[in-house]
Structure 1
Amino acid sequence: MKFTHELQKAADTLVKEIMGAKPGESVVITCDTGSDMDVIDATARAAYSCGAKPVIIQTTMTKGNGKAADEELPLEPLIGALSAADIWIEMNTSWLFYSTAYEKSTLANKNMRYINLVETPADAMIRMVGGFDVQKLTPFMKEIAHLTNSGKEVRITTPNGTNVSFNIEPRHLMCCDSGDATVPGIHMMPGQINFVPNWETINGTITFDGTLTPPLGALEAPIHLTVEKGVIKQVTGTSKQASEFRDWLGSFDDPNMFRMAHVCYGLNPGAKLCGNIVEDERVWGCTEWGIGYVHPLDAPPHGIDAKSHCDGICLNSSVWVDGVQVLDTGKVVHPKLKEMLN
């Protein structure tokens, strides 16, 4: 086993601090044949050591994710186990997230705490779960979320060309995955604040210079989007990837695939750009933009009914909320927030 002590510390942080597992609670850990079993075993040990009751469910790795994997999954046993769990930690490589098992169990079990840690090998677990002080990161991120959601206008720039502004929409989702998953609901890997702006107000240039998934992954050169009222009007760049991305958007024959969906702040101290979008969108000081589909619950009443969705990373972001600067090329400059990190 690699990183034995460091990995166990990260697993203990996950189960005891982030999930808040209590004696007697059931902790279901789902995984598949592509998962890092060292991570799974360390997480089960952490649950057992705090008096909880760990259950490991391993399935075969499916060809697709979400509902695309339904035919390959033992749905009824999964739904039965998850519908009775106090905590569900998903560590699958082929995602159960958005599958029928996920959908039915989360609807049936309103008291469950779910966290999405898909595609998380030991080194990422150590960096992204055990590599920071949860007690410090949680209030810091909640303060940024509050500051943003209390504002009206946000402006974002990057050294490679992003210069975009938009208005906050209070009726839309503001989700702060700060490392506090102790209350029932859906939680994601710590280190991201996700919100859905007022789409009509998104105007300017958005430059992806990290990764763009799907369809490209790591970028050879920046790709620039010209956006007017939340709609992509032009895709440019010096590499062939720019035209590949433009063609990919057009291949759906769906105008909603040219709509900006959501924006995120990346704030996980241990994340690094690696080609895995779950980690990439949490790189400290980046912003991430989603394009295409948005769930109606995230942006009531209708969301965006697009045929697919993709996410792109803008590194070293500078952010202003109502003219007050929060980040400067990825570094925290807001006085109150800086003090919280010291």
Structure 2
Amino acid sequence: MEFLEINPELYKACEIALKQCLGVKEGESVLIIADEPERKIGYSLWMKAKELNTEAVYIEIIPRKMHGEEPPKPVAEAMKVADVVIAPTSKSITHTLAKKEACERGARVATLPGITEEIFIRTMNADYEEILALTNKIADILDNGSTVQITTSLGTDLEFSIEGRKAMRSTGVYRNPGECGNLPGAEAYIAPVEGTANGTVVIDGSMAGIGVLKNPIKLIVQDGFVEKIEGGDEAKKLEEILSRYGKEARNIAEFGIGTNPKARISGNILEDEKVFGTVHIALGSNYDFGGKVKAPIHLDGIIKKPTVLIDGKYLFRDGNLVI
């Protein structure tokens, strides 16, 4: 295990993740799920969990082919009986039934898809109490909202309904049974009502499965689905990815708002979707957070400097919060 030498900064970030964010207590069962690209972070979390006198378990899975693909069945079963699950994996298990069922059984679950040491160290040093307050404030507005309109100077003009839907609060602080979300934390997100999204989305930050965009990707949305994708090579790549998964992969699945001031657009969607002053639209599955669509894919696209109106009232104007 000489290749898994502990980096002191990484080890400190693991301590913040386990103690401050997940509130890990002595004697609790802590399940760490990693894959080969995330082995060093996974092993460091296991070492720290062991040091905290927990029942620390490390499982390494074969990397999934796509974000949103289920983990192996034995791993899904193990997740259901753990007190705490923390999953640094190269492909996201955030929007899986395994995670949903583990949370329903009372596990506290933090997923860290595609995390790098640099991002982990940087974003774990944010003020998580401040992020908690901001995320809850924005989520409360979404909870009480009915209609959303997003516009940008590059041509985004999308409207959809969120009536009757409840926002998820990925605060980075998951200390109570059943609480779950990403680490780094910091987004409020909601499933738009299926079939209600219409208009144009211009993704200009980054796109899951592609990275930081050189050229914007334009999505033409009709009755809740992406009907057309326009742009350069990156738009073609997105079309190629979606074409493997059928119509439900084109569902407007999520509207999310980043709330972490330490995050920056790096090409890693885990960090990118948390950047304060951005919003994101995701395509594909939303079943695990209040929607009705089950798809084997969930891809987020980041929109910079958005203007957002909830029921006609400004929430953001050109990326600046106005509440």
**Short-chain TM bin:** 0.7 to 0.9
Q: Secondary structure at the match of 2:81?
A: coil
Whether the 8 Å CA contact 1:65–1:96 is kept in 2: the answer is no
TM-score by length of 1: 0.79
Whether the 8 Å CA contact 1:25–1:53 is kept in 2: the answer is yes
Match of 1:312 among 295, 301, 314: 301
TM-score by length of 2: 0.83
Match of 1:21 among 12, 19, 24: 24
Match of 2:264 among 272, 277, 281: 272
Residue 222 of structure 1: aligned partner: 216
Q: Secondary structure at the match of 1:13?
A: helix
Superposed, 1:1-20 pairs within 5 Å as: 4-20=7-23
Whether the 8 Å CA contact 2:142–2:166 is kept in 1: the answer is no
Whether the 8 Å CA contact 2:192–2:252 is kept in 1: the answer is no
Aligned CA distance change for structure 1 residues 330 and 8 (closer, same or farther; 3 Å): farther
Aligned CA distance change for structure 1 residues 324 and 106 (closer, same or farther; 3 Å): same
The amino acid of 1:277's aligned partner reads I
Aligned CA distance change for structure 1 residues 114 and 68 (closer, same or farther; 3 Å): closer
User: What do residues 90-127 of structure 1 show as CA deviations (whole Å, max 9, x unaligned)?
Assistant: 12335566779x369728x8122111113222211112
User: What do residues 64-109 of structure 1 show as CA deviations (whole Å, max 9, x unaligned)?
Assistant: 3589686xx6x54x45654432111112335566779x369728x8
**In structure 2, what is the Cα distance between the partners aligned to 1:133 and 1:41?**
25
Structure 1 vs Structure 2 CA RMSD: 3.2
Aligned CA distance change for structure 1 residues 148 and 304 (closer, same or farther; 3 Å): same
**In structure 1, what is the Cα distance between the partners aligned to 2:308 and 2:9?**
34
Q: Which runs of 5+ in 1 are unaligned?
A: 335-342
Q: Secondary structure at the match of 1:15?
A: helix
CA displacement at 1:319 relative to structure 2: 1.6
**In structure 1, what is the Cα distance between the partners aligned to 2:116 and 2:158?**
35
**In structure 1, what is the Cα distance between the partners aligned to 2:273 and 2:202?**
14
Aligned CA distance change for structure 1 residues 255 and 69 (closer, same or farther; 3 Å): closer
Aligned CA distance change for structure 1 residues 324 and 30 (closer, same or farther; 3 Å): same
Whether the 8 Å CA contact 2:126–2:261 is kept in 1: the answer is yes
**In structure 2, what is the Cα distance between the partners aligned to 1:98 and 1:204?**
25
CA displacement at 1:278 relative to structure 2: 1.9
Residue 188 of structure 1: aligned partner: 182
Residue 288 of structure 1: aligned partner: 280
**In structure 2, what is the Cα distance between the partners aligned to 1:161 and 1:90?**
37
Residue 134 of structure 2: aligned partner: 140
User: What do residues 162-183 of structure 1 show as CA deviations (whole Å, max 9, x unaligned)?
Assistant: 122222221x352110122112
**In structure 2, what is the Cα distance between the partners aligned to 1:104 and 1:146?**
22
Whether the 8 Å CA contact 1:201–1:230 is kept in 2: the answer is yes
CA displacement at 1:252 relative to structure 2: 4.4
CA displacement at 1:243 relative to structure 2: 4.3
Q: Does 1:117 align with 2:117?
A: no
Q: Does 1:235 align with 2:236?
A: no
CA displacement at 1:210 relative to structure 2: 1.7
Whether the 8 Å CA contact 1:203–1:230 is kept in 2: the answer is yes
**In structure 2, what is the Cα distance between the partners aligned to 1:232 and 1:261?**
11
User: What do residues 165-210 of structure 1 show as CA deviations (whole Å, max 9, x unaligned)?
Assistant: 222221x352110122112223223112120122343222210112
Superposed, 1:97-176 pairs within 5 Å as: 102=98, 106=102, 110-128=105-123, 130-170=124-164, 172-176=165-169
Q: Secondary structure at the match of 2:285?
A: strand
Aligned CA distance change for structure 1 residues 26 and 268 (closer, same or farther; 3 Å): same
Q: Does 1:40 align with 2:42?
A: yes
Aligned CA distance change for structure 1 residues 331 and 45 (closer, same or farther; 3 Å): farther
CA displacement at 1:326 relative to structure 2: 1.9
Q: Secondary structure at the match of 1:201?
A: coil
Q: Which runs of 5+ in 2 are unaligned?
A: none
Match of 1:55 among 47, 54, 57: 57
User: What do residues 315-336 of structure 1 show as CA deviations (whole Å, max 9, x unaligned)?
Assistant: 12222222322222222221xx
Aligned CA distance change for structure 1 residues 296 and 105 (closer, same or farther; 3 Å): closer
Whether the 8 Å CA contact 1:197–1:263 is kept in 2: the answer is yes
For the pair shown, the structure with the greater C-alpha radius of gyration is 1
The percentage of aligned residue pairs carrying the same residue is: 26
**In structure 2, what is the Cα distance between the partners aligned to 1:40 and 1:306?**
27
Whether the 8 Å CA contact 1:36–1:122 is kept in 2: the answer is no
